């Protein structure tokens, strides 16, 4: 055995409430609200033992399986008696006989890529320096330091747990302690080796105007991977993956969820191996990624949130929602009532001048909205999407008096004023591009998308310049709300600011630059609410939520489509993070006509607002708009603080969700029936989450019944016209 005395020298006997180290069994116990996460040091290697329901601090050594299988490679003589091929691990090295996907791949100066990480020390109660990388706040942290016995590289594995939630976060820091550079070819945030079972996966896939559709599939042998290589988390695949154990349903059974606190190119994979165990891992997408780590430097991976639920997918979603609201979203905004916005985009698109906007603001005031947001088209000489991104100065030919008169008109109505930006972009037709063509990622001829290029935020001078432009406007004090959009993905992946051998760093450096700008602006203008957006929900992830408490959920504002998008989004994110507006009918994206009440009910399931021209509303509709805002303000605490129960899936027919206060006394039940079918039978809706012994009243139905009655017998779904909705208050005691 290699000099274990050296590796074990820092074992201590420190006990902290949620993190316990048993020095006799060399075993770590991390304990959240109702789960345990257990691993131990065995012959220097980190051996994963358990992630799931709370267990005693009993070592679990009897769970050790066979030490090898046929064709398993064993560690070199004296360095372990279990093959890494079969050992469940905490972070998997390459080239040591574990043929499952490694968590880390390093290349040294002489071309060697094998690494063998051994336990060196650990520390409880530490912090990690994330720089601008978003990360969960607070909690109790364990750092386990490993040493690569084949090179001068150390690895810190961080684990954080909280008393108030069923989430554990992980990330890794790789440190070059030698004198030669090391190339990081892959550095995942975590590795979770789960025991053999028949698992299913659930991912959230989609496209522009159709984000985050849940898809559940049996996990077969081999590797199931979801990813984005677009430089953004993307509409196409969300950085969230759930693993469901056999029998897992919406409110029953066990499942795991993993969510990256990251907004760039990512990968999450689940690999079912010959042992039937499943390795779940992920982080920065290794495609086109490499990072040169100079002597003395370290590299911090993004954080991953790992969640365990024994109350099915619903429990998983509620735990993730609590985690994001309590520990990721800024405490200033997480539970604060959100503005009710009227956004100009679908009202006037690019076609406006000062007079038109002033009357739009007057109209917005009549809807009950408290914030008017001027969307795209107010800057440079932008009259369509071909010009001016990067020139963040008011378009004086459209808005002769600048934005001040608009903000003043808002103030007159006791409303706030907000403004749209797309800070990461530049149009070819812009002063900025003419002055700095090399500030765009790639070299000409570049791929264009929506006539624009991506600014190279891996270069600090570019970030600094954009900061200056935005800060200039925010300093006026006229802007209380910023909608931060991002309408194309990266191509070329080349920066003039990086040497030839380091271009693989660009995508990650770029997103770090995005975070740096977001951090500076949110810190310097703390009163401004920033809403995230990327052609709708193309960057709907926990990384963005760290800086932006809400995100425009989709460019598709059709109520029926939105019911699906919001339902899918709710698997991984809280309702309060979803920006949801009532738009015109027929809808601009689908052409579908839906009743005003349906649009209002679906838009009440998030940060509500309007995306229409009030001048086109009848007096009756205006009154419905005001009524919507009044009702919303009453039930908004449920959106901000409550729990969500998904009762019926719009992907299977009817849609129904229940928002329930934590004390289970107040609820808001919203549903939509799809297309009417002739002769359709009466369908029952069974409620969830209620306290069995409470008596609940549903005034809209004239029902007074015990919780268990509503849970087990349910209510009848109303018969409604196509795309009709219902929204019922529930009171219990």
Catalytic center residues: 485, 555
Closest C-alpha among 421, 410, 420, 493 to residue 453: 493
What SS3 class is residue 388?
coil
Shortest Å distance, C-beta 339 to ligand DGJ: 16
Residue 107, interface with ligand DGJ (CB under 6 A)? Answer: no
Residue 427, interface with ligand DGJ (CB under 6 A)? Answer: no
Instruction: List, in order, residues 6 or more apart from 289 with CB less than 8 Å away.
Output: 185, 186, 265, 504, 505, 507, 508
The dihedral through the CA atoms of 60, 61, 65, 68 has a sign that is positive
Stretch that binds ligand DGJ, among 41-49, 125-133, 530-538, 724-732 (CB under 6 A): 530-538
| 291: its two tokens | 């990072």
What is the rounded CA–CA span in Å between residue 4 and residue 515?
A: 41
Looking at 210, 214, 532, 535, which residue binds ligand DGJ (CB under 6 A)?
A: 535
What SS3 class is residue 158?
strand
| 346: its two tokens | 């679908």
Instruction: List, in order, residues 6 or more apart from 540 with CB less than 8 Å away.
Output: 211, 212, 233, 238, 532, 534, 551, 553, 569, 573, 577
**Binding characters for ligand DGJ, 370-389, by CB under 6 A (x = yes):** -----xx-------------
Residue 7: its H or E element? helix 4-8
Residue 456, interface with ligand DGJ (CB under 6 A)? Answer: no
Closer residue to ligand DGJ in complex, CB, 240/420: 420
Angle, helices 354-367 vs 619-641, to 10°: value is 70
Residue 533, interface with ligand DGJ (CB under 6 A)? Answer: yes
What is the rounded CA–CA span in Å between residue 58 and residue 68?
A: 24
Shortest Å distance, C-beta 346 to ligand DGJ: 8
Stretch that binds ligand DGJ, among 125-133, 298-306, 401-409, 529-537 (CB under 6 A): 529-537
**Binding characters for ligand DGJ, 4-43, by CB under 6 A (x = yes):** ----------------------------------------
Residue 485, interface with ligand DGJ (CB under 6 A)? Answer: yes
Shortest Å distance, C-beta 420 to ligand DGJ: 6
Shortest Å distance, C-beta 343 to ligand DGJ: 7
Residue 531, interface with ligand DGJ (CB under 6 A)? Answer: no
Counting residues that bind ligand DGJ (by CB under 6 A) gives 11
Shortest Å distance, C-beta 402 to ligand DGJ: 20
Residue 345, interface with ligand DGJ (CB under 6 A)? Answer: yes
Residue 536, interface with ligand DGJ (CB under 6 A)? Answer: yes
Residue 420, interface with ligand DGJ (CB under 6 A)? Answer: yes
Q: Please return the burial class of 221, using the count of CB atoms within 10 Å of its CB with bins 0-12, 13-18 and 19+.
A: exposed
Closer residue to ligand DGJ in complex, CB, 484/645: 484
Task: Name the residue number minimizing CB distance to ligand DGJ.
Answer: 376
Instruction: List, in order, residues 6 or more apart from 110 with CB less than 8 Å away.
Output: none
Residue 555, interface with ligand DGJ (CB under 6 A)? Answer: yes
Residue 558, interface with ligand DGJ (CB under 6 A)? Answer: no
The maximal CA–CA distance of the chain, rounded, in angstroms, is 84
What is the rounded CA–CA span in Å between residue 667 and residue 347?
A: 33
Shortest Å distance, C-beta 541 to ligand DGJ: 16
Residue 487, interface with ligand DGJ (CB under 6 A)? Answer: yes
Chain positions contacting ligand DGJ, by CB under 6 A: 345, 375-376, 420, 485, 487, 533, 535-536, 552, 555
């Amino acid at each position: 055995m290699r000099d274990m005395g050296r590796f074990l020298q820092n074992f201590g006997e420190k006990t902290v409430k949620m993190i316990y180290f048993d020095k006799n069994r060399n075993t770590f116990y991390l304990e959240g609200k109702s789960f345990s996460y257990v691993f131990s040091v065995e012959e220097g290697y980190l051996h994963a033992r358990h992630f799931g329901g709370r267990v005693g601090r009993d070592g679990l050594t009897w769970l050790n399986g066979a030490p090898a299988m046929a064709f398993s490679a064993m560690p070199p003589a004296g360095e372990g008696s279990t093959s890494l091929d079969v050992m469940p691990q905490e972070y998997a090295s390459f080239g040591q006989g574990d043929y499952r996907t490694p968590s880390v791949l390093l290349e040294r100066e002489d071309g060697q890529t094998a690494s063998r990480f051994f336990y060196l020390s650990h520390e409880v109660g530490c912090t990690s320096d994330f720089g601008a990388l978003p990360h969960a706040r607070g909690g109790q942290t364990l750092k386990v330091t490993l040493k690569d016995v084949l090179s001068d590289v150390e690895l810190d594995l961080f684990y954080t747990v909280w008393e108030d939630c069923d989430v554990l976060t992980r990330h890794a820091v790789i440190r070059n302690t030698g004198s030669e550079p090391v190339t990081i070819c892959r550095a995942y945030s975590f590795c979770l080796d789960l025991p053999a079972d028949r698992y299913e996966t659930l991912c959230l896939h989609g496209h522009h105007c159709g984000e985050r559709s849940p898809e559940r599939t049996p996990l077969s042998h081999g590797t199931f991977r979801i990813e984005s290589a677009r430089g953004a988390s993307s509409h196409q695949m969300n950085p969230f993956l759930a693993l469901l154990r056999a029998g897992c349903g919406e409110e029953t059974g066990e499942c795991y969820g993993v969510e990256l606190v990251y907004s760039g190119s990512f990968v999450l994979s689940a690999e079912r191996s010959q042992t039937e165990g499943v390795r779940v891992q992920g982080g920065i997408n290794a495609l086109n990624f490499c990072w040169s780590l100079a002597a003395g430097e370290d590299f911090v991976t993004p954080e991953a949130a790992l969640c365990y639920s024994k109350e099915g997918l619903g429990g998983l979603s509620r735990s993730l929602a609590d985690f994001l609201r309590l520990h990721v979203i800024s405490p200033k905004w997480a539970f604060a009532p959100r503005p009710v916005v009227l956004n100009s985009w679908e009202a006037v698109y690019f076609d406006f001048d000062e007079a038109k906007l002033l009357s739009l603001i007057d109209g917005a005031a009549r809807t009950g909205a408290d914030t008017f947001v001027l969307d795209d088209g107010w800057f440079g000489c932008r009259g369509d999407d071909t010009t001016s991104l990067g020139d963040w100065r008011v378009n004086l030919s459209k808005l002769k008096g600048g934005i001040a008169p608009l903000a003043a008109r808002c103030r007159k109505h006791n409303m706030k004023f907000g403004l749209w930006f797309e800070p990461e972009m530049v149009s070819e037709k812009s002063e900025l591009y003419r002055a700095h063509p090399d500030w765009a990622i790639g070299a000409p001829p570049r791929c264009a998308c929506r006539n624009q290029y991506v600014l190279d935020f891996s270069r600090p001078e570019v970030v600094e310049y954009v900061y200056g432009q935005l800060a200039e406007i925010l300093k006026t004090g006229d802007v209380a709300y910023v909608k931060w959009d991002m309408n194309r993905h990266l191509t070329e992946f080349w920066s003039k600011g990086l040497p030839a051998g380091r271009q693989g760093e660009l995508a990650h450096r770029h997103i770090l630059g995005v975070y740096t700008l977001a951090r500076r602006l949110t810190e310097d203008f703390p009163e401004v609410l920033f809403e995230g957006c990327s052609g709708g929900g193309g960057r709907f992830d926990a990384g963005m939520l760290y800086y932006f408490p809400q995100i425009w959920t989709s460019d598709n504002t059709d109520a029926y489509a939105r019911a699906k998008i919001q339902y899918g989004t709710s698997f991984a994110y809280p309702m309060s993070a979803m920006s949801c507006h009532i738009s015109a009918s027929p809808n601009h994206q689908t052409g579908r006509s839906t009743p005003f009440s349906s649009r209002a009910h679906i838009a009440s399931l998030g940060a509500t607002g309007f995306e229409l021209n009030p001048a086109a509303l009848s007096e009756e509709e205006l009154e419905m708009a005001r009524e919507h805002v009044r009702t919303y303000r009453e039930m908004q605490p449920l959106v901000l603080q409550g729990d969500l129960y998904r009762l019926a899936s719009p992907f299977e027919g009817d849609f129904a969700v229940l928002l329930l206060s934590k004390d289970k006394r107040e609820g808001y039940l919203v549903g939509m029936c799809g297309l009417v079918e002739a002769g359709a039978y009466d369908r029952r809706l069974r409620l969830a989450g209620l306290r069995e012994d409470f008596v609940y009243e549903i005034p809209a139905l004239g029902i007074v019944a015990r919780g268990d009655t509503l849970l087990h017998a349910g209510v009848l779904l109303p018969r409604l016209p196509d795309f009709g909705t219902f929204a019922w208050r529930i009171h219990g005691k």
